[in-house]
Amino acid sequence: MKIKNERLAKEGKTADQIADEIVELLLSSAASADSKRFEKFGKIKTKIGGLKTNALERRNLMEIVKLKSRINSLENRVEKYIRNFKISATESNRLVSEKTENLGEGIEERILNLQGQIEKLRTAMIRLSSEVKNLKEKFG
């Protein structure tokens, strides 16, 4: 060991300095190997991450497309219900109009019938009144 130390001393380096240089060389070679591994791993990870991201984006886009189609079908359904409601409202208004027309015609017929009966009663009252006068004149 003494010989090595003497030789190192001639070169102007101590054993601690040489050990530090060896450690630095080992660390730098390990770091460069790790960085290469990390670069490869990072590229692989990026590709996998990109695939995951693309798959996630595709899945999200598919969900959005499904939601849009569902919204469109619901809008169509609502429009159909609105059309059906309008048709139903129109039909019910027509039926109500017909019923009121029929009722109006029936009421008009009843009014005419009642007017005819009132006329008959009036003529009957007039006849009775004239007969009562005739009877009063005879007996009275």
State pLDDT tens for residues 12-22: 666 667 766 76
State pLDDT tens for residues 49-87: 555 667 777 788 888 888 888 999 999 999 999 999 999
Structural domains in the chain (count)? 1
Q: Is residue 133 part of a domain?
A: no
Average pLDDT over residues 109-135: 93
With 50 as the cut, is the pLDDT of residue 94 above it?
yes
Q: Is residue 123 part of a domain?
A: no
Range of the domain at 63: 2-109
29-56 per-residue burial string, b: 16 or more CB within 10 A, e: under 16: eeeeeeeeeeeeeeeeeeeeeeeeeeee
Average pLDDT over residues 84-93: 94
Kindly list the distances between the CA atom of residue 50 and the CA atoms of 18, 36, 65, 99, 109, in Å, as whole numbers in the listed order. Answer: 46, 20, 22, 72, 86
Q: Is residue 118 part of a domain?
A: no
pLDDT value of position 30: 55
Q: Is residue 52 part of a domain?
A: yes
Q: How far apart are CA 15 and CA 30, in angstroms?
A: 22
The residues, any chain, with a CB within 8 Å of residue 15's CB and separated by 6 or more, are: 4, 5, 8
